[in-house]
A and B are shown apart, each in its own frame.
Chain A
């Protein structure tokens, strides 16, 4: 009896674990097959199902964005390409596709074209390294600096010229990588942004229909979210203009 219970439990563990682990991947493969056959509706629904299973993977967001683009839903495409970029900031396909989708949007907002010159290079480098790698470099540099301080301070004459240069280098590396890490983190995750999903939405001067329209946004426009209240979202344009839209008209990235 005990053996039977143990065997059943082990079987449940193995099969249950296998099913749980395989489900999102199976869903992804089915959705990918639908995409390859041009069944955009089925592909989009399939990739959405994968996301609902607790997956946060840039490939799923990227493919979902592609399927939505093929369905003509440019707002959803921008939203999911942006989410893919948060997970894989340096992916050239995602950046290229997002630029193409943005070129088809009705609203042209400052900043959509991206950065220029050294800033562009800096951000591209930060994105290639990724937030985690920059954070690990900063951590290693901090530990190295601390070890060098211990080695130098624990004996008389411990701060030799070589050790001093190493300590300076470690401190500089810690500061630079730490600042870069924080700025990348802030750029990717710090600012709340939203993408307009409704074909057209009027931004009002306040959270209520009784307020005057201050500007009009169209599907796919990416705006900063400053506040949310009673089903309304205060959005800010790169020009500084702000207005309130219904929170069903836009979705946070």
Chain B
């Protein structure tokens, strides 16, 4: 009782060290009650404080009788309290590991070093005792004491759930090299919802190979201790002892999800139960491997144990010198040929023999105890003649009879004709075989490294380039159509160019030396402007006609009068002998340009 009390006290041991700030670190394990070797133990590390700085994931030291299953999973909680208008906050960071006990006996988690914001906090060691949990089918264990609802919803020992894991071998006493099958199955008297995987032990002294298994297809019923169990095989293995003596198959560990019937009458009536994840272990199994006898061991024996027969063939039976002949030896029977070297092929001087290779290695689809293996030798005759091909010998140990057997078969005579050219007798040819798989080597740097930046195709400027052409399409079409009209429609072209042509002409008129020609040119520029605008000849165009045309185009009377007045002034100046001053010519040019601009706006 005192030991139990001390154990419970150790389980809830909470260590809190306050350093310069108010950070508190504690560690404890759950569940707080009885812990068996099929219990998932939770190691909960809590860091509390007003504010929690960076916390590095702790490195768990080597633990006694415990190993890490999963973790850590982390969670954060914040709480606030208002006292007399003052707000206090508290933050908690929780890291949880799931630990798996090894065997019944004492267990210890050494002191942990937790680094919080650069400062290291230490917890105290936690010690407790692991008792034996449920293993193998049988009557359900006595119900435990009171169980909280919270416990029901979580993983627990599940000692009151009649579900177990059982391992059985087909033969417990075998010869070295003789296969035996191992089956691991769930024995369930309660509804099994799922199986979350099996952790096999290290199978020291045994060579193993997985056999196909389907828990639903292979399920069966068995009665154990007067109680019916649904049996779900979850693993089958072929085990072959590799050394003589007692070989122990350590327990397999499996996590099973079951539905436990509820104590609530309502939930029980409607078959509503609680889902629990329980751990179960198999019993250890001892296999006795008998050593193969030394007496009567043939020199050709290479380790095959079982009951076998051999077939031999060679093709073709007639070849030329240098041509290849394939010899096939097929061994099949009950046993395992895994790793067995090829049978012995007698040597012959007339033949160049290449190394054999395995071309078939199969086992029975349902019964994997049946083996079938074929080796191929390539032999090349080096001189013509008739030769007896070498025979093949295969030796094995028959476990039923308890003695060695030797099978020898001969091949037919091979006829070899003279070939053409010299015979190439080089090294054995073979396909390139991968020796091992590994990653490709590191890459060298031949160009500068790329900096981190947004890829071109994701930049907004690049995306905008897709919209630009469609904004330019209407402008391009308008410009093209206008250009085409300028080239094909003379009237339109004259009209569009009228103002520019008139302005150029006025500017050129200023270069005229005499007053008469200056005013004549300016007047013609204005008349031609109207003629171009109307797409007609300026010859014979009278001032009255011009006035009518301007009025038809909506030019107001004031501008028409200004236009005509300017033309009349020009006419007067053409025939007046007085040479106008430079300023009056510039004035006339400016007036002409102003009238053109006004007409252009009014047109």
A105 to chain B, nearest CB (A): 14
Known: A60-B449, A132-B455, A142-B469. A66 touches B73 (CB 8 A): no
**Contact residues in A for B465 (Cβ distance below 8 Å):** 139
Tell me if A131 and B455 are in contact (CB < 8 A).
yes
User: Are A181 and B449 neighbours in the complex by a CB distance under 8 Å?
Assistant: no
Cα A131 to Cα B465 in complex, Å, equals: 16
- Is B117 in the interface zone, CB < 8 Å from A? no
Which chain B residue lies CB-closest to A92?
Answer: B440
Q: Which residue of B lies closest to A61 (CB)?
A: B443
B449 CB to nearest A CB, Å: 4
**CB of B95 to closest CB in A, whole Å:** 9
Q: Given A135-B462, A153-B477, A209-B94, is A93 in contact with B440 using a C-beta cutoff of 8 Å? A: yes
Taking CB as reference atom, which chain B residue is nearest A209? Answer: B75
A116 and B451 CA atoms in complex are apart in Å by 34
Closest chain B residue, CB of each to CB of A189: B458
Q: Which of B57, B75, B456 contacts A135 (CB 8 A)?
A: B456
Residue of A nearest to B70 (CB): A200
Binary contact track B64-80/A, C-beta < 8 Å → 1, others 0: 00001111111110000
Number of interface residues of A (CB under 8 A): 69
Contacts of B472 in A (CB 8 A): 146, 150
Are B449 and A155 in contact (CB-based, < 8 A)?
A: no
Contact residues in B for A234 (Cβ distance below 8 Å)? none
Q: Which of B71, B439, B448, B453 contacts A66 (CB 8 A)?
A: B439
Known A57-B450, A201-B73, A212-B153; judge A154-B476 contact (CB<8 A). yes
Q: At the interface, yes or no: A118 with Cβ under 8 Å from chain B?
A: no
Select one of A54, A185, A249 contacting B458, CB under 8 A.
A185
Stretch in A8-16, A24-32, A160-168 touching the partner: A24-32
B552 within 8 A of A: no
Interface residue tally for chain B (C-beta within 8 Å): 52
> Chain B, 515-549, contact with A by CB distance < 8 Å: what is the 0/1 string?
00000000000000000000000000000000000
Interface of A is mostly: helix
A242 at the interface (CB under 8 A from B): no
* Closest-CB distance, A22 to chain B (whole angstroms): 10
Q: Does B470 contact A (CB under 8 A)?
A: yes
Most chain B beta carbons < 10 A, residue from A28, A155, A199: A155
Residues of B with C-beta under 8 A to A69: 439
B144 in the interface (beta carbon within 8 A): no
Q: How far is the CB of B93 from chain A (nearest CB, A)?
A: 9
A50: interface (CB < 8 Å) = yes
Tell me, yes or no, whether A100 is within 8 Å of chain B by CB.
yes
Chain B: CB-nearest residue to A101: B439
* Interfacial chain B residues near A238, Cβ < 8 Å: none
Q: Pick from A28, A57, A232 the residue with the most CB of B within 10 Å.
A: A57
Residue of chain A at shortest CB distance from B483: A154
Q: How far is the CA of A185 from the CA of B459 in the complex (A)?
A: 13
Binary flags per residue of A219-248, CB closer than 8 Å to B gives 1, else 0 = 000000000001110000000000001101
With a cutoff of 8 Å between Cβ atoms, the chain B residues found around residue A132 in the complex are: 455-457
B96, closest chain A residue (CB): A209
What are the residues of chain A within 8 A of B317 when measuring CB–CB? none
Of residues 437 through 451 on chain B, the ones whose CB sits less than 8 Å from some CB of chain A are: 437-445, 448-451
Which residue in A29, A135, A212 is a CB contact (below 8 Å) of B445? A29
Which one of B73, B76, B450, B473 contacts A149 once the chains associate, using CB atoms below 8 Å? B473
Q: Is the CB of B480 within 8 A of A150?
A: yes
Chain B: minimal CB distance from A2 (Å)? 35
B449 and A59 form a contact (CB under 8 A): yes
Interface residues of B in 38-76 (CB under 8 A from A): 57, 68-76
CB of B103, distance to nearest CB on chain A (Å): 22
B240 to chain A, nearest CB (A): 25
A108 at interface, CB cutoff 8 A = no
Nearest CB on B from A127, distance (A) = 14
Binary CB contact string for chain B from 87 to 118 against chain A (1 if under 8 A, 0 otherwise): 00000001010100000000000000000000
Within 8 A of B (CB), among A11-67: 21, 24-25, 28-29, 32, 35-36, 43, 50, 54-60, 62-63, 66-67
Partner of A208, one of B75, B442, B451, B477: B75
A202 within 8 A of B: yes
How many pairs, one residue from A and one from B, have CB atoms within 8 Å of each other in the complex?
A: 144
B408 an interface residue at 8 Å Cβ cutoff? no
A154 and B469 contacting across the interface, CB-CB below 8 Å: no
B443 lies within 8 A of A93 (CB) = yes
Closest A residue to B44 by beta carbon equals A209
Provided the pairs A153-B477, A200-B69 are in contact, do residues A66 and B74 lie with their beta carbons within 8 angstroms?
no
Q: Which residues between 137 and 156 of chain A lie within 8 Å of chain B, taking CB atoms?
A: 138-139, 142-143, 145-147, 149-151, 153-156
Interface assignment of A96: CB less than 8 Å from any CB of chain B: yes
Given A35-B442, A143-B469, A146-B470, answer yes or no on A202-B450 (Cβ-Cβ < 8 Å).
no
Identify the interface centre among A35, A150, A151, A249: most chain B CB within 10 Å of its CB: A150
CB distance from A211 to the nearest CB of B (A): 10
> Across the interface, which residues of B come within 8 angstroms of A181, CB to CB?
457
Interfacial chain A residues near B197, Cβ < 8 Å: 216
Contact of A63 with B442 in the complex, beta carbons under 8 Å: yes
- Is B484 close to A, CB under 8 A? yes
Task: Tell me whether B74 and A248 are in contact (CB under 8 A).
Answer: yes
In the complex, the answer to whether A25 meets B457 with C-beta atoms within 8 Å is no
Q: Are A59 and B445 in contact (CB under 8 A)?
A: yes
Residue B277 CB within 8 A of the other chain: yes
Bound-state Cα–Cα, A151 to B484, Å: 12
- Candidates A32, A58, A87, A246; contact of B73 at CB < 8 Å: A246
In the complex, what residues of B have CB within 8 A of residue A55's CB? Answer: 449-452
Contacts of A189 in B (CB 8 A): 458
Contacts of A90 in B (CB 8 A): none
Q: Are A154 and B445 in contact (CB under 8 A)?
A: no
The residues of B that contact A134 with a CB separation of less than 8 Å are 457
Q: How far is the CA of A214 from the CA of B275 in the complex (A)?
A: 12
Inter-subunit contact B439/A201 (CB<8 Å): no
B466 near A142: Cβ-Cβ < 8 Å: yes
Besides A57-B449, A150-B480, A153-B473, 9 new A-B residue pairs in contact (Cβ under 8 A), listed by A number = A25-B449, A50-B449, A59-B449, A63-B442, A100-B437, A134-B457, A154-B478, A208-B75, A245-B73
Q: Measuring CB to CB, which residues of chain A are less than 8 angstroms from any residue of chain B?
A: 21, 24-25, 28-29, 32, 35-36, 43, 50, 54-60, 62-63, 66-67, 69, 87, 93, 96-97, 100-101, 131-132, 134-136, 138-139, 142-143, 145-147, 149-151, 153-156, 158, 181, 185, 189, 198-202, 204, 208-209, 212-213, 216, 230-232, 245-246, 248-249
A-B contact pairs, 9 of them (CB 8 A): A56-B453, A59-B444, A67-B442, A96-B440, A149-B473, A149-B477, A150-B480, A216-B197, A246-B75
